[in-house]
Chains A and B, each alone.
Chain A
Amino acid sequence: MRIRALTIRIIRQFVRDKRTLALLFLAPLLVLTLMYFVFNGREIKPDLGIAGVPPAMEERIAQSGARVVRYDDADQANRALEGGDLDATLTLDNGRPALRLEGSDPSMSKAVLLLLRQAMQQDAPGVQLQISYLYGKADLTSFDSFGPVLIGFFSFFFVFLLAGVAFLRERTTGTLERLLATPIRRSEVVAGYLTGFGLFTLFQAALIAGYAIGVLGMYMDGSVWLVLLLNLLLTLTALTLGTLLSSFAGSEFQIIQFIPLVIVPQVFFSGLFNLEAMNPWLQKLSYLMPLYYGADAMRAVMIRGEGLSAIQLDVYVLLAFSVAFALLNVLALKKQRPI
């Protein structure tokens, strides 16, 4: 009953606070849209050099939006690729199709790959495409490939901020003290906050994922429910971490100061940046970052279309983070009331 009362109160306060609602629901969409235009804004029409490819296939490739240039043999085509005239070459190597990508522009490489995969699925299903790169590697860093990380990050970031500020305000306005002068348990306070905010973060998770996939057309190969589950787990972690850290902040500004300390490092370790050059010992820091697990699992689901069994570990770790932070919250409330 007390948890329910607290939940209802939080929902009521939230609904009255239009600006905060907007921050929670619209800001992530705005930033995602910007990201989308930054990374996906230009229409891509790759220049594809071909040699020895069956005419039917050449036809289809041309139809699907590439500018096709025919060469007499593979060497000639590849020389043109090195000369910067082409984005990719498609040749036959011992009877098997071989694709060589220029590779310096990941979004271009991706466009070529997509185009060829579609073309080949119809003409030569089951045939393995040999892929090589003139420059760079197969690592994609376009909106599609880090989109899942962005979805997780925005859920995490905005919930962290709002939960931190809301709990801090409860403390600095004296209502927390008043609340703790009632027979409510410390664990009930934390549970009430989790439920009240949890409902909003659930909406937020659904909205962000739905917008990114449905409106922005982010690449999505897995189950929507798993994406929602992961987003919810990430936001629960953000919620518990935000309220926990707010016990150590004296003002809203001090909550902001946690961003470079708590949020920014997570971005570096979340898979947006390649960490191979980093000291392996430092790389292990990523195991401490909730966002690392969230992003890893989101990628597995959205890009590789994997199921629950593949992301089990991530799910458990995120749950463990939430539970640990929530318990620490209950302990931290001892500062406000000894019992």
Chain B
Amino acid sequence: MNDPLSPSPVVELDGISRAFGGRAVLDGITLQVGRGELFGLLGPSGSGKTTLIKLITGIDRADRGVVRLLGERMPRLSMLQRFGYMAQSDALYAELTAKENLMFFGALYGLGGVRREERIRSAMAVVDLLEHLNKPVSAYSGGMKRRLSLAIALLHEPELLILDEPTVGIDPVLRQSIWRELLALRDRGTTLILTTHVMDEADRCDRVGLIRDGRLTAVGSPADLKARTGTATIEDAFIAIGGGARV
């Protein structure tokens, strides 16, 4: 696996399919995400993005095909330590304060003591929530909960971040600041995989995969996709490739 000339991909999907109750939700997806990449999964709602994310993380198991994460065949318990995850819906304990939520998840990732305190402060600084650290989550707005979820994903400084719709419900100004941080993380060597609805976000990814009805219809850099379809925006490119899907 450790060929020094071509570093093994961080995520390697080989012909994976997943069906729920006889209905195929993902159908033969093959994809590789390289180290240090910022990879975006773009697709309309219900196209299977979240399902794909769950297969990559090993929360779910593919019916067919192989998922490898950092060279290991998934699902595998020990690999859950290796990435930071942000689910599509905010999974937070509303009765607890933000800090208590962070302490809980930090402990699950093996953080303790002074180091955990440091990491909590630094992750909350990234999402600009430091001053709300001791508020109960029930008093948080939707956007604040989203940011807290992101802070939890950043907590143990993983080499890979898997974010399902990270900027949903966050206002434009804050979205900019979060993107600045995501790009900074990428520049420091973190690999990022995220799903999005928003076209200008897709434009900032190193590469995007267009997903529609459970199939990967195109993969490439935004510039590449625009050139291939002869369109000016990623939105037009998506429509040209996907056959008019609303995104």
Chain A residue nearest to B92 in the complex (CB): A175
Set B80, B96, B112, B136: member contacting A181, Cβ < 8 A: B80
- A105 partner residues in chain B, CB cutoff 8 A: none
Chain A residue nearest to B78 in the complex (CB): A183
Tell whether, in the assembled complex, residue B96 and residue A338 are in contact, meaning their CB atoms are under 8 Å apart. Answer: no
Tell whether, in the assembled complex, residue A177 and residue B96 are in contact, meaning their CB atoms are under 8 Å apart. Answer: no
In angstroms, Cα B96 to Cα A8, docked, is 11
Q: Which of B1-33 contact A (CB under 8 A)?
A: none
Q: Shortest distance in angstroms between B54's beta carbon and chain A's nearest beta carbon?
A: 8
Chain B residue nearest to A175 in the complex (CB): B91
Q: Does B243 contact A (CB under 8 A)?
A: no
Chain A residue nearest to B79 in the complex (CB): A183
Interface residue tally for chain B (C-beta within 8 Å): 30
Tell whether, in the assembled complex, residue B110 and residue A1 are in contact, meaning their CB atoms are under 8 Å apart. Answer: yes
Q: Does A96 contact B (CB under 8 A)?
A: no
- Selecting from B58-66, B124-132, B178-186, the interface stretch reads B58-66
Tell whether, in the assembled complex, residue A180 and residue B105 are in contact, meaning their CB atoms are under 8 Å apart. Answer: no
Chain A residue nearest to B108 in the complex (CB): A182
- Selecting from B81-89, B199-207, B212-220, B226-234, the interface stretch reads B81-89
- A1 partner residues in chain B, CB cutoff 8 A: 107, 110, 112
Tell whether, in the assembled complex, residue A180 and residue B59 are in contact, meaning their CB atoms are under 8 Å apart. Answer: yes
Q: A5-B107, A13-B93, A174-B89 are in contact. List 20 more A-B contacts (CB 8 A).
A: A1-B110, A5-B108, A6-B104, A8-B104, A9-B93, A9-B96, A13-B96, A16-B95, A173-B91, A175-B91, A175-B93, A179-B108, A181-B57, A181-B85, A182-B105, A182-B108, A183-B81, A183-B109, A338-B60, A338-B75
**Majority-rule SS of B interface residues:** loop
Q: Does A117 contact B (CB under 8 A)?
A: no
In angstroms, Cα B85 to Cα A275, docked, is 56
In angstroms, Cα B222 to Cα A33, docked, is 72
Q: Does B76 contact A (CB under 8 A)?
A: yes
Q: Which of A175-204 contact B (CB under 8 A)?
A: 175, 177-185
Chain B residue nearest to A8 in the complex (CB): B104
Q: Shortest distance in angstroms between B19's beta carbon and chain A's nearest beta carbon?
A: 15
Q: Does B114 contact A (CB under 8 A)?
A: no
In angstroms, Cα B96 to Cα A90, docked, is 66
Tell whether, in the assembled complex, residue B95 and residue A13 are in contact, meaning their CB atoms are under 8 Å apart. Answer: yes
- A17 partner residues in chain B, CB cutoff 8 A: 95
Chain A residue nearest to B91 in the complex (CB): A178
In angstroms, Cα B95 to Cα A173, docked, is 13
Tell whether, in the assembled complex, residue A339 and residue B58 are in contact, meaning their CB atoms are under 8 Å apart. Answer: yes
Q: Shortest distance in angstroms between A297's beta carbon and chain B's nearest beta carbon?
A: 36
Chain B residue nearest to A337 in the complex (CB): B59
Chain A residue nearest to B58 in the complex (CB): A339
- B110 partner residues in chain A, CB cutoff 8 A: 1, 183
Tell whether, in the assembled complex, residue A182 and residue B91 are in contact, meaning their CB atoms are under 8 Å apart. Answer: no
Q: Which of A14-28 contact B (CB under 8 A)?
A: 16-17
Q: Does A304 contact B (CB under 8 A)?
A: no
Q: Shortest distance in angstroms between B4's beta carbon and chain A's nearest beta carbon?
A: 29
Q: Shortest distance in angstroms between A174's beta carbon and chain B's nearest beta carbon?
A: 4
Tell whether, in the assembled complex, residue B61 and residue A178 are in contact, meaning their CB atoms are under 8 Å apart. Answer: no
- A185 partner residues in chain B, CB cutoff 8 A: 77
Q: Shortest distance in angstroms between B137's beta carbon and chain A's nearest beta carbon?
A: 11
In angstroms, Cα B88 to Cα A178, docked, is 10
Set B59, B77, B78, B104: member contacting A5, Cβ < 8 A: B104
- B103 partner residues in chain A, CB cutoff 8 A: 5
CB<8 Å pairs between A and B, sample of 30 = A2-B107, A2-B108, A4-B107, A5-B104, A6-B104, A6-B108, A8-B104, A9-B93, A9-B104, A12-B100, A13-B95, A16-B95, A16-B96, A173-B91, A174-B90, A174-B91, A177-B59, A177-B87, A178-B87, A180-B59, A181-B57, A181-B80, A182-B80, A182-B81, A182-B105, A183-B77, A337-B60, A337-B75, A338-B60, A339-B76
In angstroms, Cα B75 to Cα A177, docked, is 15
In angstroms, Cα B101 to Cα A8, docked, is 11
- A179 partner residues in chain B, CB cutoff 8 A: 91, 108
- A184 partner residues in chain B, CB cutoff 8 A: 108
Tell whether, in the assembled complex, residue B95 and residue A177 are in contact, meaning their CB atoms are under 8 Å apart. Answer: no
Q: Shortest distance in angstroms between A182's beta carbon and chain B's nearest beta carbon?
A: 4
- A9 partner residues in chain B, CB cutoff 8 A: 93, 96, 100, 104
Most buried by B among A185, A336, A339: A339
In angstroms, Cα B162 to Cα A182, docked, is 12
Q: Which of B108-123 contact A (CB under 8 A)?
A: 108-110, 112
Tell whether, in the assembled complex, residue A339 and residue B75 are in contact, meaning their CB atoms are under 8 Å apart. Answer: yes
Q: Shortest distance in angstroms between B110's beta carbon and chain A's nearest beta carbon?
A: 7
In angstroms, Cα B78 to Cα A100, docked, is 74
Q: Which of B30-67 contact A (CB under 8 A)?
A: 57-61
In angstroms, Cα B105 to Cα A32, docked, is 40
In angstroms, Cα B81 to Cα A12, docked, is 25
Q: Which of A78-136 contact B (CB under 8 A)?
A: none
